[in-house]
Structure 1
Amino acid sequence: MPAAATPRFSVIIPVYGVEGYVRECLESMISQNYRDVEIIAVDDCSPDGSGAIIDEFAARDPRVKAVHRAENGGIGAARNTGLDHATGDYLLFVDGDDSIRPDSLAAVAARLEEAGDPDILLLDHVRTHWDGVVEQSNSAKYLAGIRGRAVAPLDHLELLRMFAVVWNRAYRRDFFTANGFRFADGLYEDALMVYTTMAAAGTVAGLEHVVVEYRQRRHGSSMRSSSPRKHFVIFEQYEKVFAFLDGRSGLEEYRKVVFERMVSHFLHTFARGFRIPKGHRRAYLRRASRVYRALEPAGFTPPPGILGLKFKVLKAGSYPAFQLLKLANGTREAAVRALARVKRRAGRRVLRAYYAFQRRLPVDQNLAVFSAYWGRTPACNPLAIHETARRLAPGVRAVWAVNKEYAAGLPPGIDRIAPATFGYWRAMARAKYLVNNVNFSDAVVKRPGQIHLQTHHGTPLKRMGLDQQHYPAVARSMDFARLLARVDRWDWSVSSNLHSTEQWERVYPAAFTSLDTGYPRNDVYYRATAADVRRIRGELGIEHGRRAILYAPTVRDLQRDAFVPRLDLARLARELGPEYVLLVRTHYFYGDDPELRALAGSGALIDVSRHPSVEELCLAADALVTDYSSVMFDYANLDRPIVIYADDWDVYRTTRGVTFDLLSGDPGDTPGVITTTEDELIESFRGGAWEGERAAALRGAFRERFCTWDDGFAAERVVRRVFLGEEEDRPPVVPLDKRTPAPTPRVAEGIRLPSQARREEQQRLAPARFDQ
């Protein structure tokens, strides 16, 4: 067989702690119109789901190679591993949380051919900030200076002033390997590689085209997360640069420019308190001074103005002199501190004096405050966690923050505190555990010793968090700075599937730890018995033998004031006939609807909008009809039919945004029959498609993707990890094919099924496959 053709590009992607971003990175690669590329994604023992994501892409696209390192070695080691697998003519390095713009590879290929395959091709980029701001780089003027030419870098030293990173350039692989280039350990390895490769290159060219979108993460950057002493490796990296230059002649002017870039880099790092905090600043300055004096080239002249003065102070290594210079000139760091002081003073004026007093008292190690849906009736994941904590952590006392209008409907055994009262602020100040499926109010202060557990309340089909900035229908009512301040309080974030974990990590950039446990509220779908199903249906008034269809649409951001049915509910009930009964559940944002109340009064349907438990409604239903509500992901656990009625998909995804194409019809995206008109919806039931083989196959693939960790033990895993401090994930997740959902209503009611369907139900209800 002929040998496989060498790809034009090898794209090397180090992957560590980027599960919220690496999917976007890989999508940006495989969707390029230029196809002659191999994509080498190197999992550096990432502790999150990043490795599974690159495996997924490798399975679906043969150009993607998923490489898993045996031990963590850092970004340099991961890139070296990628180099060992690379076969392309040119090497491109892209970080796992960045992406490349459409048509970029075609533009790079065209420019390389035009330039005669230079050793290095310099690329433009933009910085994309977490708040939506896109910042142009300084590269354009340098690239314009060599427009249309391939030049010797020693003749164009201004090119050294481009951002010194490896992902804004393409390297000819035989040039790279012939010179023995390998990435060093530790931070600041890019600068070492950039300045040594530019010194060795015979020709470089430029591409005046934005290729890379360099993501500025609010949280999770290696520069922010590393310990202060790890930043001292910057000195060793530059010492290696100059050791490399020492072995080459004719680089006198080159050395001067690199030296100026080096000292500027030292100053840049020193000015960022999150890298070099107070206790390490004197040592850093002393080390920088020694390196300055050891490596200063003959004839070097510091730049003019205040920057040159900083050079001289750094060379002297005088920390007091540097402090005086800061006082005289002011720095960005000082401005940030001053702004923070203003914010703190404003916050103290707003916070209740009583709350401030209570926060000075000890944290109650055995007190937990629960809340759900902005102070509504106890429900959802917080309630499931509360009930499990009663059993596994009985020493923890629980109180629920519940608004006055919901107080009368509290379940037995719930201790209530009323928001905006002395008792509420005392509990919020003193409780060790704060549990919510939304956020607590902005006035809540996260104090040391408290643990915030964010449970969420659905799998995100619609765009959430920072993604909402791009959709005016929701962005106009959202204060994103306050949102992020609330997110910063989270210690734990509960997730039911990898899709959710990726989304939460990306759209809520903060330091929380993901709890990949499954949704506690979905435990009941594997715990409920036939008697439970019969009881719930009886309480709802569903007659024996009738097929209950739960219709649960989501809210529309352009229509939040009142429920406007997107279906003629009376016609739907009439056309389905007496065999069926409609359970209609409006979104909790909507109040009472007179038309719906009238239809329920006439017996055409059952209005379950105010029922306290969505989970019970799902257990009672033979099928679910919804549009874009996250209830579909929960209901899929029951392995019962789901019908999508999406009459406004184009409007919804344009105004609200979606994370995947629900209507694609592809396995994993679509949970069952898709309908876009009322007639199609009615026919799906009349013709039997709603429970046909095609719908069942789609539902199975949907369950595999979105019911990953829901197995009946999610609440226990959360309680053991958060309340009991157990490190090991236990109990282990039951595989999907070993789980037994609650019996369907027809089985629970003992209704005789056709033989084939009966056999399938008997197989599904074989003896329990997991320990109770």
Structure 2
Amino acid sequence: MPRFSVIVPVHQVQGYLRACLDSVLSQSLPDLEVIAVDDRSPDHCGRILDEYAARDSRVIALHHEENRGVGRARNTGAERATGDYLLFLDGDDTLAPGSLEAVAERLKQDGDPDILYFDHVRTYWWEAAEKSVFGGLLASAGTDVFRITERPEFLRLFAMTSNRVYRRAFYGEHGFSFSDGIYEDALVSYKTMLSAERISCLARVVLEYRQRRSGASTRSPGRNHFVVLDQYTRLFDFLDAPGREHLAPLRPMLFERAVSHFLFCLGNPDRIPRRLRGEFFRLAARWYARHLPEGFAPPADKALGYARLARGSWLLARLGDVPRWARKELTRRRRRLRRQVAQRAKAALYAYHLRRPLDPNLAVYSAYWDRGVFCNPAAIYHKAREIAPGVHGVWLVRKSDVPRVPKGVDYVVPRTRRYWRLMARATYLISNVNFPNDVRKRPGSVHLQTHHGTPLKKMGIDQQRYPASAKGMSFRRLLERVDRWDYSLSSNPHSSEIWERVYPSSWQHLETGYPRNDVFLTAGAAEVAHARAALGIAPGRTAVLYAPTTRDYQRNFVPRLDVERVCRALGEDFVLLTRIHYFHGEDARLKALHEEGLLVDVSRHPSVEQLCLAADALVTDYSSIMFDYALLDRPIVVHADDWPVYRASRGVYFDLLSGAPGETPGAVSTSDDELIAAFRDGAWNGPEAARLRAAFRRRFCAFDDGRAAERVVRRVFLGETEPLPLAPLEARTPAPAPALLAAAVPEEPRSGPQEAAAKP
């Protein structure tokens, strides 16, 4: 049997689960089993568990048919466990490297105690780590093995589940189990401690206890937190049961732990909201009176809170002082007011419109910081005009980009009078980046974040470790913007996992696929032929779209490829469509080569989607265009001459150049010579490239089946909750490859509106 059974209850932690499992499976002590229990998680947690179980025999994936709660999930895992010791680890926490080996050594030294406690650190989304306050207490135990009656000060240890291991025989003999509801770990923590005959401690950090910004059950304010009163009632019933008279001296300290817990919840608006504080206070006061030990003396640092509970008057408690959370709220309001006064006329106008009712039929769209009608928002806009015509869409467009707005599209220039009225009164706000900081999220409004690519590079709060990409970004302000989101689009499970972790807030996933990519599954031969003809691509020529991304470590556009040399080397059979990133202006050298007729400079072409339809193959480096182009099932060549530098400066989520299925989409080159050779010897379109592309498509083309825009409109605008069925990947028919087209005059395309659904 294994030395450790690590039990992981899993529910809506897809963004953190891989890190949790990897931290266990990479331990220097391999003698363990991981029993992970999917508690009917609505995200991709179940799939992730099955993936790990398939490749590591130490992982046992169990699946509840219905959601039973974290306590029941832990119970399921404990029942299946076979290890000498149980370690309960939440799915968003991790173990420190080498820590299980240290625990095993200490258990052996102490003769296998019933419980061994260890230290932890709290880790935060802003990359900080905070030591626990219990390191000194744990160190004070030295090599002692004791009962809690001998060392009652250890009742002050953090009453959680994951900062200890239990001898499985001890845990089973006493019939311990977790109850329903939150705070179930406090009840089990104290009951096990009171029952153990042999306790020891290890003053080493084993647990990395993640403090999530959102999603944790204890940070969801509401009446569910009232259960903390019931949990401690059960603890005192346990304490008062016959045969436990020897524990009576511990009653005052347990009472103090319980009341301190109540006061903490009462003073935390993330747990007990303001509207429920009076009711919670009165129930806590009754509990206080019913369980008060004779001669109890409150701790000096909390005497005021204890005295208020003892009096039992919520009115007197409210008059006694202004709680800390209220002071913070008042401070935030004062700061917000100062900013509003400073903005003067603009703020006054916006504030006036904010007092007016929302317009239920008004939607505001923006793409790429108001550059025009592009990308996912554009595809949603066109589909809404088709199936939700009652919703009027208005686009935010910078003054310099107004000439590019398609005919018939309503738009407004930011910061004008009409802009403030629309931003205040729109029910729907759709963007592929973020609206400005001063845009307010109104009750009843719906903010849809569409994103504009699948993440290879680090995003969101993960950028904190990469200052070259953050460039002075305020992550606090970023998360304030994220807090406005109601929905976040995703095109594959990889994106869902990343978005959840790097943009932590209370928004909902819409796993619809990317609306801008619908055209890749709905376009036919006529659309492909039309796209090529519009670019002047002669029949029979192989069109290669070269679309590199920008570099955070470089200020301006620096060519990563000698395009003139490549064009001349490939010859007349090929035509290179070159598109530099929209962050950069025109490149004089590309313009000259375009005028010479050696290549086609498509840097300012209004539609990336049309370029993809026209191209026989894609050459890119780290641009997210590769994930979109994969939908067409056409060759992709990764040209990455600076991969080590890019990976170090920006950070990536997987090794694009590994050659592993699901990571590399096709042939790879790291120099001009290698790229030329790939096309000359056929590697760009050979069997190995096809095999890699198929695996890449399976991983990253999961949700795109040509109906993404319709799914979004039906869910967001029409309120339909039953999603359209998703067509299997093998049943989807991409737009035909140009090589299959007959040399004929193109017909008029059928998917005209999709041409506007573009990247700039």
TM-score between the two structures when normalised by the length of structure 1? 0.94
Paired letter, 1:333: W
CA distance in 2, matches of 1:696, 1:501: 26
Paired letter, 1:743: P
Q: 1:135 corresponds to which residue?
A: 130
Q: What number of residue pairs does the alignment pair up?
A: 739
Q: Deviations over 1:242-295 (max 9, x none)?
A: 121223132133222211111111111111123222332222222212222222
Q: 1:207 corresponds to which residue?
A: 202
Q: Deviations over 1:544-573 (max 9, x none)?
A: 21111111111101114x211011111111
Structure 1 segment 351-750 matched on structure 2, within 5 A? 351-560=346-555, 562-730=556-724, 732-749=725-742
Deviation at 1:750, TM superposition (A): 5.2
Greater Cα offset, 184-193 or 599-608: 599-608
| Structure 2: runs of 5 or more not aligned | 745-760
Q: SS at the partner of 2:296?
A: coil
CA distance in 2, matches of 1:444, 1:42: 41
CA distance in 2, matches of 1:325, 1:742: 71
Contact 1:462 1:656 in 2 (8 A): yes
Q: 1:316 corresponds to which residue?
A: 311
Deviation at 1:89, TM superposition (A): 0.8
Contact 1:545 1:749 in 2 (8 A): no
Say whether 1:166 aligns with 2:161.
Answer: yes
Deviation at 1:344, TM superposition (A): 2.5
Deviation at 1:643, TM superposition (A): 0.8
Deviation at 1:379, TM superposition (A): 1.0
Q: SS at the partner of 1:151?
A: coil
CA distance in 1, matches of 2:102, 2:571: 61
What RMSD, in angstroms, separates the aligned Cα atoms of the two structures?
1.5
Q: SS at the partner of 1:365?
A: strand
Paired letter, 1:701: A
Q: SS at the partner of 1:155?
A: coil
Q: SS at the partner of 2:118?
A: strand
Paired letter, 2:281: L
Say whether 1:269 aligns with 2:262.
Answer: no
Paired letter, 1:257: M
Q: Deviations over 1:44-69 (max 9, x none)?
A: 11122222221222222221111111
Q: SS at the partner of 2:521?
A: helix
Greater Cα offset, 641-650 or 457-466: 641-650
Paired letter, 1:715: A
Q: 2:63 corresponds to which residue?
A: 68
Q: SS at the partner of 1:669?
A: coil
Greater Cα offset, 345-354 or 161-170: 345-354
Say whether 1:231 aligns with 2:209.
Answer: no
Q: 2:39 corresponds to which residue?
A: 44
Deviation at 1:726, TM superposition (A): 0.3
Deviation at 1:521, TM superposition (A): 0.6
- Greater RCO, CA 8 A, separation 6+: 2
Paired letter, 1:42: V
Q: SS at the partner of 1:258?
A: helix
Contact 2:221 2:272 in 1 (8 A): no
Q: Deviations over 1:565-594 (max 9, x none)?
A: 011111111111221111111111111111
Paired letter, 1:413: G
What is the percent sequence identity of the aligned residues?
Answer: 56
Paired letter, 1:737: E
CA distance in 1, matches of 2:275, 2:326: 17
CA distance in 1, matches of 2:178, 2:691: 48
Deviation at 1:197, TM superposition (A): 0.4
Deviation at 1:99, TM superposition (A): 1.3
Structure 1 segment 102-141 matched on structure 2, within 5 A? 102-141=97-136
Deviation at 1:697, TM superposition (A): 0.7
Q: SS at the partner of 1:84?
A: helix
Q: 1:334 corresponds to which residue?
A: 326
CA distance in 2, matches of 1:49, 1:135: 30
CA distance in 2, matches of 1:334, 1:382: 39
Deviation at 1:190, TM superposition (A): 1.0
Deviation at 1:721, TM superposition (A): 0.5
Deviation at 1:226, TM superposition (A): 5.0
* 1:260 corresponds to which of 256, 260, 265: 256
Contact 2:539 2:743 in 1 (8 A): no
Q: 2:142 corresponds to which residue?
A: 147
Contact 1:377 1:612 in 2 (8 A): no
Q: Deviations over 1:588-614 (max 9, x none)?
A: 111111112112222221111111111
CA distance in 2, matches of 1:365, 1:701: 44
Deviation at 1:151, TM superposition (A): 2.6
Contact 2:372 2:396 in 1 (8 A): no
